[in-house]
Amino acid sequence: MQILIYAMVYLGSALMVYNIYGFIRFARYVKELKSWDNNSYILYVPIFLLVFFLTGYLVIGLFGKPDLMMAGVLFGGSIFVQIMYRLLNRIVREVVMSEQLKAELLAAEESSRAKASFLAGISHEMRTPMNVILGMDALALKNPALSAETRDQLEKIGYSARHLSRLINNLLDLQETEKDKPAKDTQMLSLKEALDQINAVYSASCSEKGLEYRFTGSPEAEEAYTGDAFQLERALMNIVDNAVKFTDVPGTVQFLVEPGSPEEDSRVMHFTIADTGVGIDPEFLPKIFDAFTQEDQSSTSRFGGSGVGLTAAYSIISGMGGRIEVKSRKNEGSTFIVTIPMISAPAAESIPEDPVEDHYDPEEVLQGRQILVVDDIDDNAEIVSDLLEIAGAESDRAENGQIAVDMFAGSAVGAYDAVLMDLRMPVMDGLEATRRIRALDRKDAKNVPIIALSANAYDSDVQNSLKAGMNSHLAKPADADLLYAELAGWIRKTSGEEAKNSND
């Protein structure tokens, strides 16, 4: 029994020595964190106490006559100190790790904000000169006196510039989809207007390339829904653009919109984009939506393409609760089937019927209209004014938002049929200018169409424009036909509403 007693005393002493060593290491670790510089002496208090206890252990073991109870208390005390040391060490390290993770997360968020800010600036800087190039090219092509050779050269410049513009947009779209997905936009969505925009752009694009473009809609496409029109339009345009790009002359691009079976408050819509182009190898189909992947370099050299347009479309459609299916045969063409659940808008929010006939020529609508062009860059303002003049419209120019507010406030009621508003400007930006125009105490301030025409084209920019009171958002460089269609559509809609109100 005496052997067991002394064994417990000396084992407890050895364990206490280990505890002292552990606390010394722990004190050094905490001091390295430099968070207890003013109270670091506290870290050494446990060490002094443990040394005192160890001395007592040794005195009792060497000079005393410990009994079983005393030996048990001494040995148990060493075990208790060891447990507390390990628990304290674990807690402190967990806390330190948590703080480090928080610091890393804050640094990552700051880096992400800086990256987003940088890309927003780059987006603006890249799109601004592209707007000038495409605008000047479109204006030059309107000259009927051009020689055939010069016209051909300008058309090639325009084609290359549009290709570069699409590449810029797709790269920026990809960056947008890599960020956390924003909350779904539940504003009223005019599917018909979104499809009209797509058809206006790609019927003209196919005509220029020598392709046949066919669109088939359905009555359900005329109904009112809620959702994110900008995201849907962007995703579908990326797929249609891909079809046009990879289809040779003579060829056909077909766009079919048809409903699925109704499901409670949702109506599943199928958007089918089919082409007679080069097709896709079956082995490559599983990778078709991967970023920066291309089937072969020969197709890239021949047709162009960055490998990010379909990736952005896939991400957007997935975020909307939809899916994409692909069917393709090499050298025979491809078919993309997009299925998206469309949420029906409440009857009270249905899109009002347009009293004006559906089929119209945008340039006829713009004849004699007065447009206020707000842009701080001379070249951009000149291009827009010239394009409006070609369509038969007249324009005034404001160099910044403050001048635009003053010009609108000082004009006669109804003097301006629409406002084309840039976003980034000195003195006062386009968002604040829109809010101030909408707040004016005059009849036309609430109804005049205000359309953003800006190089800021992220989804957040679009949402900010709509929240500020703008009717829609066009990204620079804006296609002339798209600009005419957007302006004419909102002018017709506003004129129809005013006529209806006056009759009431």
Tokens of 88: 């304290």
Q: Are residues 335 and 196 in the same domain?
A: yes
Q: Are residues 374 and 478 in the same domain?
A: yes
Q: Are residues 219 and 338 in the same domain?
A: yes
User: pLDDT per residue over 217-247, tens digit each?
Assistant: 888 777 777 777 777 888 898 899 889 988 9
Identify the CATH number of the domain in which residue 288 sits: 3.30.565.10
Helix (H) or strand (E) holding 463: helix 459-468
pLDDT value at 204 more than 90: no
pLDDT value at 69 more than 60: yes
Q: Are residues 382 and 305 in the same domain?
A: no
Q: Is 341 a member of any domain? A: yes
Binned at pLDDT 50, 70 and 90, residue 372 comes out as: very high
Look at residues 106, 133, 151 and tell me which one is the last residue of a structural domain. 106
**Is the pTM of the predicted complex or chain greater than 0.75?**
no
pLDDT at 496: 64
For residues 38-45, average pLDDT:
69
Q: Are residues 368 and 459 in the same domain?
A: yes
Cross-strand partners of 266:
263, 343
Q: Is 130 a member of any domain? A: no
Q: Is 119 a member of any domain? A: no
Q: Are residues 320 and 244 in the same domain?
A: yes
Number of domains forming the structure of the chain:
3
Look at residues 78, 106, 134 and tell me which one is the last residue of a structural domain. 106
Q: Are residues 203 and 345 in the same domain?
A: yes
pLDDT at 50: 81
Binned at pLDDT 50, 70 and 90, residue 353 comes out as: very low
Q: Are residues 344 and 386 in the same domain?
A: no
Task: Report which DSSP code applies to 346.
Answer: P
Binned at pLDDT 50, 70 and 90, residue 301 comes out as: very low
Look at residues 349, 382, 407 and tell me which one is the last residue of a structural domain. 349
pLDDT at 93: 83
257 with 229: CB under 8 angstroms? no
Q: Is 453 a member of any domain? A: yes
* Nearest in space to 282 (alpha carbons), one of 336, 327, 333: 327
177 with 315: CB under 8 angstroms? yes
Q: Is 168 a member of any domain? A: no
For residues 429-441, average pLDDT:
95
Q: Is 292 a member of any domain? A: yes
Name residue, tokens 């953003």.
452
Instruction: State which residues form the domain around 274.
Output: 186-349
Helix (H) or strand (E) holding 472: strand 472-475
First-to-last alpha carbon distance for the chain, in angstroms, is: 109
Binned at pLDDT 50, 70 and 90, residue 392 comes out as: very high
pLDDT at 252: 94
330 with 279: CB under 8 angstroms? yes
Q: Is 395 a member of any domain? A: yes
Cα–Cα distance, 71 to 79 (Å, whole number): 12
335 with 327: CB under 8 angstroms? yes
pLDDT at 116: 66
Binned at pLDDT 50, 70 and 90, residue 498 comes out as: low
pLDDT at 187: 61
pLDDT value at 467 more than 80: yes
* Nearest in space to 476 (alpha carbons), one of 503, 452, 442, 460: 452
Q: Are residues 333 and 373 in the same domain?
A: no
User: pLDDT per residue over 439-465, tens digit each?
Assistant: 999 989 999 999 999 877 667 788 889
Binned at pLDDT 50, 70 and 90, residue 406 comes out as: very high
Longest dimension (CA), the chain: 120
Cα–Cα distance, 122 to 456 (Å, whole number): 10
Tokens of 190: 């005019």
192 with 331: CB under 8 angstroms? no
One DSSP character per residue, 21-63 reads: HHHHHHHHHHHHTTS-GGGGGGGGHHHHHHHHHHHHHHHHHHH
Q: Are residues 332 and 223 in the same domain?
A: yes
Task: Report which DSSP code applies to 368.
Answer: T
Region of poorest pLDDT, from 17-21, 38-42, 401-405: 38-42
Q: Is 383 a member of any domain? A: yes
Cα–Cα distance, 274 to 257 (Å, whole number): 12
Query: Whole-number mean pLDDT of the chain?
Result: 80
Cα–Cα distance, 311 to 295 (Å, whole number): 14
pLDDT value at 121 more than 70: no
pLDDT at 182: 44
pLDDT at 256: 94
User: pLDDT per residue over 87-106, tens digit each?
Assistant: 888 888 888 888 888 888 88
Q: At residue 464, what is the residue type?
A: N
In terms of phi and psi (left: phi > 0; alpha: psi -120 to 50; beta: otherwise), the region of 279 is: left
pLDDT value at 147 more than 70: yes
Q: Are residues 291 and 325 in the same domain?
A: yes
Identify the CATH number of the domain in which residue 467 sits: 3.40.50.2300
373 with 397: CB under 8 angstroms? yes
pLDDT at 129: 80
In terms of phi and psi (left: phi > 0; alpha: psi -120 to 50; beta: otherwise), the region of 12 is: alpha
CB atoms closer than 10 angstroms to residue 176: 22
Q: Are residues 344 and 468 in the same domain?
A: no
Tokens of 433: 């200018």
User: pLDDT per residue over 267-293, tens digit each?
Assistant: 788 999 999 998 888 888 888 887 656
Distances (CA, A) of 224 to 218, 262, 316, 352, 378: 13, 14, 21, 9, 40
